[in-house]
Structure 1
Amino acid sequence: MSTSASSAQGSIPDLQTRYSGVPARLSQEAVEAKTKLFSQKTVPDSFPRRRTALPPGVSKESFDQAVTELKGALGEGNVELNDKPLVDGWYMEHPNTHDAYHIADQEELICSAIVYPSSTAEVQTVVRWANNHNIPVYPVSMGRNIGYGGAAPRVPGSVVIDLGRRMNKILNIDADNASCIVEPGVSYFALYEEIQRRKLPLWIDCPDLGGGSVLGNAIDRGVGYTPYGDHFANHCGMELVLPTGELLRTGMGAMPGKDGADNPTWQSFQAAYGPYVDGIFSQSNYGIITKMGFWLMPETGHQSYMITFPREEDFEQIVEIIRPLAQKRILGNIPQLRHVIQELAVTGKPRSFWYSGKGQMPRDVIREKASKLPCGDVSWVFYGTQYGDPASIDAQLKIIKAEFGKIKGSKFLFPKDVPADHYLHSRVQVCSGVPALKELDWLNWQPNAAHLFFSPISPTKGKDASLIHSTIAKLHKKWGFDVFPTMCVAGREMHYIANIVYDRADADAKRRATGLMREMISAAAKEGYGEYRTHLLFADQVAESYSWNNGALRKFNESIKDTLDPNSILAPGRNGIWGKRYRGKGWEILAGDKRNLLTDGVSPSLSSKL
């Protein structure tokens, strides 16, 4: 083992000793992933701090007094000032002080302090403290919302509530009910490993990377790839702290069980009686969820595969074929459709290995390089998985092969048809509920790798899909970025996820990435396509784009915010929702905003008057 690999192995957190660590089965893969990423790292681990952050409108003297009070309530070691050098780290060693993939200045979206509660009661204590001192707080589950802002607070100087470090228990796994209850610090890795330790015939559903919070991903409406891939749709019951410090349970949990126990149907039925309120606590800043239930999938037989398509213009026909297969539930999961450039990226080799020119990598170069890979000279790659007994899977595959076979030159491949290190084998794991790390490899595309996701929703129709793809491709070319499209395609809609990979040490790359994001949001909205999720610095523009009836939805969200959070202390600005204390005072970054985030920052000059 090389010196760098040995050093990497020694520093990577282990799941047995740290809640946010990697399981032993992936320790070598983690070493290799970190070694690849750090081989292109040209910046120091950290820079000397130029500034410290304070909550808006709070003096240093007042803040110090408030922090002393909070330390008295939670314990000296459970409240930390953010006064140390900022370290970006990487996926398995991410910061909770700022955005590791900063698109603004590294010291812009920083917290003033980090708090580590150990229980729901301590979360209530922190929230009441925040109200008493008029200090904004920003809760994170684990801080691995990478590509969307990580653990960074939208309002600089907020106090981050890191729920993961001391609230990371799997509270219950009910094998008969195929359900569980977890705290915010439970990762997909941790939940999977515990199910395996107990030898239970259950699957989890995980996104492409397994280190994130099960709870956190669900409330941000993240997706996975088994039949249980809609994570929020497969949650059942939550306990949360409201912005005033009051405690709420939703669903059947609102009814006490016998002799004070939890209601026995809390993890069995989602809605209970009356309005179904769970949805307002997803992608919002209306409460801090401290416990959440999930349905688990009974294990079953499965078969993953990939289908390649030779021509760019095959795209519309591919989508048209997917739609009826998905609507009839013939496709077993939410499949992925990717452009062949990602076959180059997921090898973990940097862009410079394939091409050293500027601007977008030319299509003929992609074709020539892909021709030497297992996929061959193709344009699109479809990854799918079927579930059930062997006879059912064979019947499903027969239909699928016949339908996609209508596209001339398409080719069907099983995992046994490609080398052991091919990306398809990672899809086998993820699509059968085994959390992995392989998806980190494409980050090595650029030095000091960072990325932004642009994630619009399109109908599963060829013309719509083609329009959004051509719009995104055209704008990527304008701003000088390679296009990395991943389509997660369902029967009626598809998530188009465009991944902008940039060098976080390159100011011009950040400027161009920001310009590309702003223009894609506007161009998509003009055609009627909106994002389902976005980076925190673009949340205002995305929220503004949902403007039907003079922005009725946004006004409704603001009304709920003002009612539940009268002091505007909980995560102001998250998902474009601002309380009355901040609203209309220059914090919003809307369409047409000309500020340079690197030089102008995100705080308005009026912030001192808050």
Structure 2
Amino acid sequence: MSGASPSSVQISSAYGQLAAVLGEGAVLGPGSDLSAYEDPYAFGSSAGFRCSGAVLPKSVEEVRAVLAVANRHGIPLWTVSTGRNLGYGGAAPRVNGAIVLDMQRMNRILEVDEEHGYALLEPGVRFLDLYGYLRERRLKLWMSAPSLGWGSVVGNALERGIGYTPHGDHAAQICGLEVVLANGDVVRTGMGALPGANTWQIYKGGYGPSLDGLFLQSNFGIVTKLGLWLMPQPGGLTSCVAHFQRESDLEAAIDVLASLRRRQIIQSNAQMGNVVREVAHRYPRSRWYDGPDAMPDEVIEKIRQDLGLGWWWTLRFGLYGDEELLDARFRIVQRAFSSIPGAEITGQKHLASGPDGLYACEVEGPAGRLAGVPGFFALNALKFRGDDCGHLDFSPILASSGREAVRVYEFVKARAREHGIDYLAGFTASERHLTHVFPILYEKRDAEQTSNAAALLDTLIKELGKQGIGEYRAHLAFMDLIGDQYSFNMHALRRLHEALKDALDPNGILSPGKQGIWPAASRRQRAGTR
């Protein structure tokens, strides 16, 4: 594949052949409505990431047919599961003129094994679909869902997405993949390579090197099936909310939380947010402030007074198990957070109504996400800055240390204020690290706000990267920038990625540029990115 976009002759010929093998209804060529494959929050240079069309296969054989056409014509494909990766580019491709390989019609739940606690899924299965399947059949299993439930279970796991049950590290629940390589070869990893094995979704290792991780956030193949471990439903859940009065409580709160997570007293990802983040999900900013700059401290204080908020930080998490375990864990958590003056913690118990354990559908309201119930509450924040709000996500990984959290918090807060952006600070605590999730909100119709949002993200990535703090996930426009920061030993990791890319995809047709991994013929494109 050349570094340039495909020619009109190549595109026309390719679409004709694709329509012949897939059928007209599965091919959206030039002239079709392709708005679903644009970044809904496009800004500056990212507005140029446009596809020439899309194909929607329904089977592995159709995926292989698409690959044959793409290889023949040297046309890049950009693979999406359902294209809901909002804040990171949506379904738009990194390379102009690419064909989006949209996997949403491959949406079968192939198997759910209640005894061993796993599902085998195709890429088009949404969190809403899997939840509905488990609920309708009264299966004694819980899934885990991210903040928005409309996306692909497979796509989210492959992008290392997170949820809020004890299975909230979605990538860690992967057990066995089916992958179509660029040449059309179909590979099953782990025990899936052994014909007749019934342990494909039970044992991760298989025989020889473990390869599942090669296909996370990569462009080395197209995942067509994914095994995912599910959680046996517990006897009960205590949904907990903790409040901390002062902005300066962040360090102590994170240190206590980190200890509780490492000791597995708190079993799920715990999410902590500042008062601006909490308010943004419930009220429009204009209720208190309509200036073009970031809300001043006095405005934030007025919001707290108007709403009667006696706290600055809110922490949400779940405790799981039989009632005796819930009570014991809650006492330990209360005792731990009592070391922070003024800290308040409340818990609501949700107990099983029968001997089979607590069904996720029995957990109602906001606590539902702690039981893996898909929701859409996070969308509320998109009304905070205006009726047509866009967002970019800044998602660096930090050590689970209060001192580290404060250092990053103060740095990001200052940079956000310099760029006129309100700081919706959030920290998601796993057992050993924090993911600092900052949705950078801006009014899409305001050119200055849009430019400031992109400039802020650029600044944060560059400046924190110099301090050894890197993002785990990236918007299309920043993939190369972030990839460049992982530079140990003269970019040895990138050279390894490129060697794998060239071996597995010599024509460079699979998602070129994803995560900064380019095929040989188009690596010069890096020079033209941010």
- TM-based fold match above 0.5: yes
Provide the rounded CA distance (Å) in 2 between the counterparts of 1:323 and 1:331.
9
Alpha carbons 1:82, 1:111 under 8 Å: kept: no
Segments of 5+ residues of structure 2 without an aligned counterpart are 350-362
Alignment-derived partner of residue 446 in structure 1: 385
Provide the rounded CA distance (Å) in 2 between the counterparts of 1:574 and 1:275.
24
Per-residue CA deviation, residues 89-142 of structure 1 (Å, 9 max, x unaligned), is xxxxxx2x2111112368521110110101011101111110110000001000
Alpha carbons 1:415, 1:425 under 8 Å: kept: no
Provide the rounded CA distance (Å) in 1 between the counterparts of 2:410 and 2:420.
15
Alignment-derived partner of residue 233 in structure 1: 172
Structure 1 residue 157 and structure 2 residue 97: aligned? yes
The one-letter code sitting in structure 1 at the alignment partner of 2:502 is D
| Equivalent residue for 1:314, pick from 249, 257, 267 | 249
Structure 1 residue 434 and structure 2 residue 373: aligned? yes
Alignment-derived partner of residue 35 in structure 1: none
Provide the rounded CA distance (Å) in 2 between the counterparts of 1:174 and 1:57.
45
Alignment-derived partner of residue 358 in structure 2: none
Alignment-derived partner of residue 355 in structure 2: none
Provide the rounded CA distance (Å) in 2 between the counterparts of 1:213 and 1:129.
26
Alignment-derived partner of residue 57 in structure 2: 117
Report the Cα offset of residue 540 of structure 1: 0.6
Provide the rounded CA distance (Å) in 2 between the counterparts of 1:426 and 1:541.
40
Structure 1 residue 287 and structure 2 residue 206: aligned? no
> What are the within-5 Å matches in structure 2 for residues 278-357 of structure 1?
278-300=212-234, 301-347=236-282, 349-357=283-291
The one-letter code sitting in structure 2 at the alignment partner of 1:574 is K
Structure 1 residue 204 and structure 2 residue 138: aligned? no
Alpha carbons 1:304, 1:427 under 8 Å: kept: no
Segments of 5+ residues of structure 1 without an aligned counterpart are 1-53, 88-94, 258-262, 417-423, 594-610
Alpha carbons 1:315, 1:466 under 8 Å: kept: yes
Per-residue CA deviation, residues 470-514 of structure 1 (Å, 9 max, x unaligned), is 111111011110001111112321101111011222222221111
Provide the rounded CA distance (Å) in 1 between the counterparts of 2:209 and 2:419.
46
Alignment-derived partner of residue 500 in structure 1: 440
Alignment-derived partner of residue 16 in structure 2: 68
When residues 130 and 405 of structure 1 are mapped into structure 2, their CA distance, relative to the original with a 3 A threshold, is same
Alignment-derived partner of residue 326 in structure 2: 393
Secondary structure of 2:42 counterpart: coil
Alignment-derived partner of residue 76 in structure 2: 136
> What are the within-5 Å matches in structure 2 for residues 407-426 of structure 1?
407-414=340-347, 426=365
Alpha carbons 2:140, 2:232 under 8 Å: kept: yes
The one-letter code sitting in structure 2 at the alignment partner of 1:405 is S
Q: % of aligned pairs identical?
A: 39
**How does the TM-score come out when normalised to structure 1?**
0.82
The one-letter code sitting in structure 1 at the alignment partner of 2:319 is Q
Alpha carbons 1:451, 1:499 under 8 Å: kept: yes
The one-letter code sitting in structure 1 at the alignment partner of 2:17 is E
Per-residue CA deviation, residues 326-345 of structure 1 (Å, 9 max, x unaligned), is 11111121100100112211
When residues 561 and 588 of structure 1 are mapped into structure 2, their CA distance, relative to the original with a 3 A threshold, is farther
> What are the within-5 Å matches in structure 2 for residues 75-94 of structure 1?
75-84=23-32, 87=35
Per-residue CA deviation, residues 435-459 of structure 1 (Å, 9 max, x unaligned), is 1111111111123111111111111
Secondary structure of 1:531 counterpart: coil
Per-residue CA deviation, residues 235-260 of structure 1 (Å, 9 max, x unaligned), is 11111111122111101001110xxx
> What are the within-5 Å matches in structure 2 for residues 471-482 of structure 1?
471-482=411-422
Provide the rounded CA distance (Å) in 1 between the counterparts of 2:221 and 2:426.
32
Per-residue CA deviation, residues 159-206 of structure 1 (Å, 9 max, x unaligned), is 001100x21111111111111111111000000011111011110011
Alpha carbons 2:123, 2:155 under 8 Å: kept: yes
Provide the rounded CA distance (Å) in 2 between the counterparts of 1:426 and 1:335.
17
> What are the within-5 Å matches in structure 2 for residues 17-96 of structure 1?
56-84=4-32, 87=35, 95=36
Give the aligned CA root-mean-square deviation in angstroms.
Answer: 1.8
Structure 1 residue 273 and structure 2 residue 211: aligned? no
Alpha carbons 1:344, 1:370 under 8 Å: kept: no
Q: How many residues align?
A: 514
The one-letter code sitting in structure 1 at the alignment partner of 2:346 is L
Alignment-derived partner of residue 503 in structure 2: 563
The one-letter code sitting in structure 1 at the alignment partner of 2:324 is A
Report the Cα offset of residue 82 of structure 1: 4.2
Alpha carbons 2:177, 2:227 under 8 Å: kept: yes
The one-letter code sitting in structure 2 at the alignment partner of 1:412 is I
Alpha carbons 2:480, 2:526 under 8 Å: kept: no
Provide the rounded CA distance (Å) in 2 between the counterparts of 1:498 and 1:351.
17
> What are the within-5 Å matches in structure 2 for residues 485-524 of structure 1?
485-524=425-464
Report the Cα offset of residue 372 of structure 1: 4.0
The one-letter code sitting in structure 2 at the alignment partner of 1:255 is L
Secondary structure of 1:207 counterpart: coil
Alpha carbons 1:368, 1:377 under 8 Å: kept: no
Provide the rounded CA distance (Å) in 2 between the counterparts of 1:538 and 1:366.
31
Alpha carbons 2:3, 2:523 under 8 Å: kept: no
